[in-house]
Structure 1
């Protein structure tokens, strides 16, 4: 996935990202509102190293766990003046040896009030030092008692030795018998006791010099916020929400089977995208409320522009030597408004001067005839000249006729596959320049595939964000299997806001103050007149009359004669395919109408528009 694809994926899933961020921020708010700020303050206690204490004969229980003992916490609570605080101190106090110096113990107390935790830390530190001092003093007292005991033993042993020596001396006076010396055991005991006394006396002296086994190295001065700040909670939540949202968007895009881009539609169908229809929803709503097709009204919208682009692309795609074209309009899914597209496409072609006949090939849910009702005042086609007589009747749009809806008792697919329908399509081809057939959706039945085999090509309508890519692929495969030419795709649902519409931004030349605006249909007719006259003029001769003047001249003639001539010209000649505006293709030799016929048809076109 490229960076561009990633950005596109995130943009398509922007609502997922937004919802994820909002959900994460909501959770962060609940967390932050339920949490009180937590502060911590520390006191450092310096201990006399164990080697020195051992040399002094002192044994202390200085483990940091002593900090949370009842003796220490109760003493600290007493110092703070609140005996009930002992339990709180036991739960909020902790101690450990300093990493850089094992002889130092760091006592940390936490709480929700920055001032209280400083006092608590100092009180717990002082109580811990006092507890160690109490042990030290108790050891000194025991050493003193032992020393006093040894001193008494030494005195007794000295007295016993002295008495023994006196007795021995008295016995030896005036006696020739040998006298036993003083018992050596007494002297050995005396020597041992004296050594112990001297050792203990030295240890006691050293311990007394130490005075205290622990001191406060650094009192608690300030408290530090140890809980997560609310701002950091919100920042982490927002970041997590964005990441989760992007992950969901990527997952959604990976699992999404709908057509999202023109490139995806083109790859799925293996056919080009001929046009992207903009503003279809607004056009449908407008057509239902006003009862006329958007293309038939003189208004510049994104939808009418995109329909003209579609018409121009189809003209180039179906151009052939016969001068006529049969196009089937179908859709890859049921919801795409293919009938509306077909009706506007036919109206656009007719307003460009072509004779157009529309046929509803949807026998299951026919809708095209309702969009293009026959005109009650318009006469039926007579089939003058080279045109064959058909059942098609004119509509209110010039050059546009509609064939009555087909009726049959057979299955629609069986009826459409009959020679009768094939002959009807060929008859309509001989009758008009363009035949537009509205067919049911491709995957509903075989109707569209059958009609496509009779036509010069098939236009497949696809709705962006709705039509599954699998439906587009299968529709294209079915058409290819039936040897029906897939001309291209019409994508519905493009972003109208990103389109720059010519009609909406480029004013007509006659829209200035004091000038008349030339209607769209009249302009198309005038261009047809001018093109026809240019064809009849000798080479090298430059026409000097504009299309507007020619239309004005055409309007001076008899209206009835103009209608008759227009019908005759329509039957015998085919309008020019080339349009100077880019909407008309090159004209085959012999298909250019005469200037007189084009002039006669122009007033009727302008009047109808």
Structure 2
């Protein structure tokens, strides 16, 4: 496991970590509140000895013979209790005291007292130290008395041996016994005299002061509790990951579905909520977001995967009913349409149809809502599958339904079908048989792994071409933030079209300035306005033509047998397309007759009802609807003319091309960013 995977696992289980830390810290606080603090005081007693050379041997230091048990002996406890005025039992008082050797030497004894009160601990330690020092005097006297008694016994033995030697001076046993008794008597005499020389057997070297609390302090306990909580929380996070049965990432989804992940869709839920308030598809707005960029990434992946297909029919389905399938399908269809391809979105979910709500008709449109109708997105139409009394799965399996999909694909370049979840009904599998490919949507953190594997396996068993997985519910990262702000000159989301021009034009005056640059917007009968910056105007018209799709898509083009529009030959666009009213007005001098100026086309043309399987016609073009854009698109002039050059050609009384403004200063293409 890498460091990034470790961090992601911990972050995914951050609430488990936080809960574990809070629980352990709460337990530590309860322990500190219930626990009584024990204070320890220590008094040090030093034994005092004298130097002695016993039996002619090396000099040694003699002290009163004692051990640690003498500190808590009955005489010492009674003396300490009397000094303290203790009213409890001697055993309970002795339990408060312990003794040890603080160093290697046994001449130094530490007397420790532990109580719940720091002052009491000091008093008990000092009382036992003083009582023990006094007890050592008694112990010394007892030891001297014991030595004297042994000396007296040896003296009596020596008298008997002496009497035997008087009777037999050469008695060897008597002589050896006499020598032993004399040696022992001498040793005992030296020991007794040495002990008598010790005036004070011990003294209190360091009295007990400043009792210390025993055990870790509150800060230490809390720090250990936080550390233990972190360890427990991380363990819970990894246990959660090990026991989690939901899809967590692209690699997990690709492995389970045995199919590539076409795109990771960022911010789907947020974009869906924003759509509920604005009623404008995110991909149709001139604002780049992680969601719109991921939708375009999905569109590109589908195009690449289905590049060899004659007719692109894409079925969008989901592994579970909780995935935002319809919203993603609508944005995918709108993305295809905005890329200049005639697209039809089919509401293939007959059980819970929602595509009509996501892709409403334009304002003021009146027609049969159960047939092919336009939408507010250019080049995009919606076809709801007709309601039948048959079961939806049975109806979709009929040849009539298959022929319906085929007819729609003949009248469009891309058909996007919104299908129910795979495991909810057989509808998605049936629709997938009519499609070029199927996009299966899964939600990261919500779709069950077994459900995703079973859904992909069902499609594979029925020979449905599964293109790949679209993983929704992925949170935005720095890469997507960079992708959504790339191309912004300021890096703060401000578009160049919103900035003042030349430091003089304000954003509020931008729209009037664009209108004033059109010579054909004056009142009827008035002469054309002053000459404007032709390269800039032409560039703006080309940018508007790119946005609205009217440069090449708005003109009537020959259609093939399948109903697709045929692209004009390269190099013939400018000559074949009619000039825009603005460019024609710039080419007409004020002295020329009005008959030489072609009449301008009306800005709005009523919609012409369409036949079965076709979108309503506008501007006299079959299957094309006038672009209805989001409010953000209004900042670019929506000219309906072609991309004709602003300078007149040689002839017709116009100046030479080389002398035209466009020859002196080439037209600069305005930047266009989402």
Interval of TM-score (by shorter of Structure 1 and Structure 2): 0.7 to 0.9
The equivalent of 2:571 in structure 1 is 538
Q: What residue in structure 1 maps to residue 551 of structure 2? A: 529
| Residue 538 of structure 1, CA deviation | 3.4
Call closer, same or farther: CA 1:245–1:267 in 2, change over 3 Å: same
CA contact (8 A) 1:154 1:193 kept: no
Q: Aligned-pair distance for 1:331?
A: 0.9
For each residue in 1:84-113, what CA deviation from the matched residue of structure 2 results, as whole angstroms up to 9, or x when unmatched?
596664232112345623454332223455
Q: Give the TM-score normalised by the residue count of structure 1.
A: 0.72
Q: Pick from 102, 108, 127 the counterpart of residue 112 of structure 2.
A: 108
1-structure distance, mates of 2:423, 2:338: 32
Q: Distance in 2 between matches of 1:461 and 1:148?
A: 110
2:395 paired residue among 412, 415, 426 = 415
Q: Deviations over 1:379-410 (max 9, x none)?
A: 669xxxxxxxx942334444333323443444
Counterpart of 2:347 in structure 1 is: 360
1:337 aligns with 2:370: no
- Count of matched residue pairs: 543
C-alpha contact 2:607 2:618 (8 A) present in aligned 1: yes
Which residue among 270, 287, 307 is the counterpart of 1:319? 307
Describe how 1:378-527 pairs up with structure 2 within 5 A: 378=365, 391-496=371-476, 498=478, 499-500=480-481, 501-502=484-485, 505-509=493-497, 512=500, 513=507, 514-516=509-511, 524-527=546-549
User: How far is 1:258 from its partner?
Assistant: 2.0
Measured at CA, do residues 141 and 570 of structure 1 come closer, stay the same or move farther in structure 2, by a change above 3 Å?
Answer: same
Contact between 2:46 and 2:109, CA under 8 Å: does it hold in 1?
yes
Write the deviation string for residues 389-439 of structure 1: whole angstroms up to 9, x where unpaired: x94233444433332344344443343333232222112211222211111
Partner of 2:129: 125
Q: CA deviation at 1:465?
A: 1.5
The structure-2 alpha-carbon separation of the partners of 1:65 and 1:556, relative to structure 1 and needing over 3 Å to count, comes to farther
Task: Tell me which moved more, 553-562 or 420-429.
Answer: 553-562
Moved more, 537-546 or 304-313: 537-546
Determine the structure 1 residue equivalent to 2:32: 32
Higher mean C-alpha deviation, range 214-223 or range 473-482 = 214-223
1:283 maps to what in 2? 271
Query: Is the 2:617–2:624 contact (alpha carbons within 8 Å) kept by the matching residues of 1?
Result: no
Instruction: Output aligned runs, 1:104-183, within 5 Å.
Output: 104-141=108-145, 144=148
Q: Deviation per CA, 1:281-328: give whole Å up to 9, x if none.
A: 233334334555444566665444443443343333333463x41110
Structure 1 residue 73 corresponds to structure 2 residue 95: no
Whole-angstrom CA distance in 1 between matches of 2:579 and 2:472: 38
Q: Which residue of 2 aligns with 1:557?
A: 602
Unaligned stretches of 5+ in structure 1? 166-179, 382-389, 576-594, 600-609
* Distance in 2 separating the partners of 1:562 and 1:415: 33
Alignment partner of 1:9 is 2:54: no
Deviates more, 1:346-355 or 1:431-440: 346-355
SS at match of 1:490: strand
Q: TM-score with structure 2 length normalisation?
A: 0.66
Greater mean alpha carbon deviation, residues 299-308 or residues 556-565:
556-565
Tell which deviates more after alignment, 527-536 or 325-334: 527-536
Residues 320-367 of structure 1 show CA distances to partners (whole Å, capped at 9, x for unaligned) of 463x41110011211011012112222333344433222222233332
Alpha-carbon distance change, 144 to 511 in structure 1, aligned in 2, over 3 angstroms: closer
Corresponding residue SS for 1:228: coil
Aligned match for 2:239, one of 226, 251, 258: 251
Bigger proportion of residues as helix: 1
- In the other structure, the counterpart of 1:41 is 41
Range with bigger deviation, 551-560 or 501-510? 551-560
CA 1:515 to 1:140, structure 2 compared with 1: closer, same or farther past 3 Å? Answer: same
What displacement does 1:216 show?
4.4
User: How far does residue 75 in structure 1 lie from its aligned partner after superposition?
Assistant: 1.5
Report how far residue 137 of structure 1 moved.
2.0
Call closer, same or farther: CA 1:523–1:225 in 2, change over 3 Å. farther
Q: Is the 8 A contact 2:347 2:354 kept in 1?
A: yes
Q: Which residue of 2 aligns with 1:265?
A: 253
- The residue number in structure 2 matching 1:384 is none
Tell which deviates more after alignment, 417-426 or 284-293.
284-293
The alignment partner of 1:333 has SS state of: coil
When the two chains are superposed, the root-mean-square deviation of aligned CA atoms in Å is: 5.0
- Distance, in Å, in 2 between the alignment partners of 1:272 and 1:557 is 50
Unaligned runs of 5+ in 2: 501-506, 515-539, 556-566, 586-597, 609-615, 628-639, 645-674
Residue 6 of structure 1: how far off its partner (Å): 1.1
Q: Which whole-Å CA distance do the structure 1 matches of 2:580 and 2:447 have between them?
A: 44
Distance in 2 between residues matched to 1:201 and 1:146, nearest whole Å: 10
Deviates more, 1:556-565 or 1:482-491: 556-565
- Distance (Å, rounded) in 2 between the aligned partners of 1:444 and 1:598: 50
| Alpha-carbon contact 1:569-1:597 (below 8 Å) kept | no
Q: Does residue 231 in structure 1 map to residue 219 in structure 2?
A: yes
3-state secondary structure, aligned to 1:327: strand
After superposition, the Cα gap between the structure-2 partners of 1:2 and 1:296, relative to the gap in structure 1 and judged at 3 Å, is closer
Deviations 1:249-285 (CA, angstroms, capped at 9, x unpaired): 1221222222223333333334343333333323333
The verdict on how the C-alpha distance between 1:508 and 1:150 changes in structure 2, with shifts beyond 3 A counting, is: closer
Task: Please give the secondary structure, in 2, of the residue aligned with 1:483.
Answer: coil
Seen in structure 2, the aligned counterparts of structure 1 residues 544 and 423 have a Cα distance that, compared at 3 Å, is: closer
In structure 1, what is the Cα distance between the partners aligned to 2:327 and 2:414?
Answer: 17
The separation in 2 between residues aligned to 1:463 and 1:211, in whole angstroms, is 92
State the 1:247 CA deviation.
Answer: 1.5
Q: Secondary structure at the match of 2:26?
A: helix
Shift of 1:12: 1.6
CA distance in 1, matches of 2:584, 2:141: 125
Residue 126 of structure 1: how far off its partner (Å): 2.4
In 2, Cα distance between equivalents of 1:543 and 1:10? 63
Please say if residues 394 and 402 of structure 1, whose CA atoms lie closer than 8 Å, have aligned partners that are also in contact.
yes
Per chain length, whose mean CA-contact separation is higher, i.e. which structure has more relative contact order (CA < 8 Å, sep 6+)?
1
